[in-house]
Amino acid sequence: MSVSNRSSRPADARITRSSRSAESQDSGSGRYGKPRKKQADSTLAQDLSLMNVNGQGGLNASVGKQLGQRPSGPSANKSGGGLASVARLMKMGRCKNVVVVAGAGISTASGIPDFRTPGTGLYANLEAYNIPYPEAIFNVDYFSNDPQPFFSLAKVLYPGSHQPNYIHYFIRMLHHKGLLLRMYTQNIDGLEKLCGIPDDKLVEAHGSFTTASCHLCYTPYPAEDAKRLIMNGNVPTCTFCTATVKPDVVFFGEDLPQKYFLHTQDFPKADLLLVMGTSLQIEPFASLVNTVRATVPRLLLNRHAVGPFQRIPLRRGDHVELGDLEDTVRRFAEMLGWNNDIVELMKSQEQEQCIPTLVSGRSGKHQTGSDESDVETCSKCSASSCLS
């Protein structure tokens, strides 16, 4: 993120990242920010949501049935009614400006943990960093005091060791079909770009590892140099003010990138909103889903009902499809008749990314038993099979 991008932003357009869950902690004023009370949905919705988390979806389903609504509990993924309804609208040509809102859940199929899943999420495995609460690892004030916890986590999060999955290519197919108005992602893994979603169709609301800068004076710093230092356990420092340099990932308390403000143009134009793999816990990103016109259909594809999709009854035009996200998206693609196209797109993209290189053993040759021979392998995956 350059100095010009930050300094040119109008004062009244400044928006910083904040965490609902961090603000709702009942711990009083803390050293790294004063928690505020979370604004909850109705008591009924909270009770039913709690029962869903505990695996008791029966009451939610029965209440939804009494209210004439499709259930939004764990059983909601059985019928596929929401998918079918939205697929029908898309096939009729009623959805030509699709906005996608996505979170960490779209990347779990690529082997990247999400943040909040109990037991496996990144926030559940941060005890070793001795931080006051999980979100502190992305708190800019805490980082200024102790950057090592984030740099330790950054070694896991840096792009390069994971590949896009079917969900990413489904969104790429939306663009290929001329339907994607914009994708807004919370993710910093870079998989959206890697699968071929153009930069002008993508808003990385929480920044990325592509660039780096001083966290105090914003002086740019070579991203590759920062990565090399961090990976080697060192701390990159600013050449201007000697403060700590970090990748331009947006921390709690930092300004969102200027590109985020495209939402003021995009969401009023949207005729379909797809919400995928997000807990809708981080503001102001979470509130974007409420800015489309009241008549616009919204489809949540997720493991759990979140945000406004927890309400009973659902808003007219809202659809909820719960379960394994990759399986759900695959069924959605099959309803649209896109599955074969997506599979072919994945194959062609993977072949483009696999570049044959010569892997040499001693004497410039690859060792195969007692014989020496030249072997071409993929520089990405170190396997010859991907070249066939």
Angle formed by the axes of helices 325-336 and 339-353, to 10°?
120
Strand order in the sheet with 98-102: 202-204, 180-185, 98-102, 272-276, 298-302, 318-322
pLDDT in tens, 307-342: 999 999 999 999 999 999 999 999 999 999 999 999
Quick check: is 230 in a domain? no
Q: Consecutive sets of 10 residues in the chain, 388 residues long: mean pLDDT of each?
A: 41 58 37 37 33 33 36 44 93 97 94 66 62 82 90 84 94 98 95 95 95 95 96 94 95 91 97 96 93 97 95 93 96 97 91 52 37 43 40
Quick check: is 227 in a domain? no
Give the domain extent around 90: 3-26+72-112+162-206+250-350
What is the rounded distance in angstroms from the CA atom of residue 88 to the CA atom of residue 84?
A: 6
Q: Are residues 24 and 46 in contact, defined by beta-carbon separation less than 8 angstroms? A: no
Quick check: is 373 in a domain? no
Quick check: is 96 in a domain? yes
- Verify whether residue 319 is a known catalytic residue: no
pLDDT in tens, 28-52: 334 444 333 333 333 323 333 333 3
Quick check: is 51 in a domain? no
Q: What is the pLDDT of residue 119?
A: 55
Task: Strands of the chain (E only): list them.
Answer: 18-19, 98-102, 180-185, 202-204, 207-214, 220-221, 245-249, 272-276, 282-283, 298-302, 318-322, 356-359, 366-368, 371-373, 375-378
Quick check: is 272 in a domain? yes
- The reply to whether the predicted model has a pTM over 0.85 is no
Q: Are residues 69 and 45 in contact, defined by beta-carbon separation less than 8 angstroms? A: no
Q: What is the pLDDT of residue 65?
A: 34
Q: What is the pLDDT of residue 39?
A: 36
Residue 101, SS3? strand
The count of structural domains within the chain is 1
What is the rounded distance in angstroms from the CA atom of residue 262 to the CA atom of residue 13?
A: 12
Quick check: is 218 in a domain? no
- Say which CATH number the domain at 170 has: 3.40.50.1220
Quick check: is 262 in a domain? yes
pLDDT in tens, 57-94: 333 333 333 333 444 443 344 446 789 999 999 999 99
Residue in 168, 206, 215, 263 annotated catalytic = 206
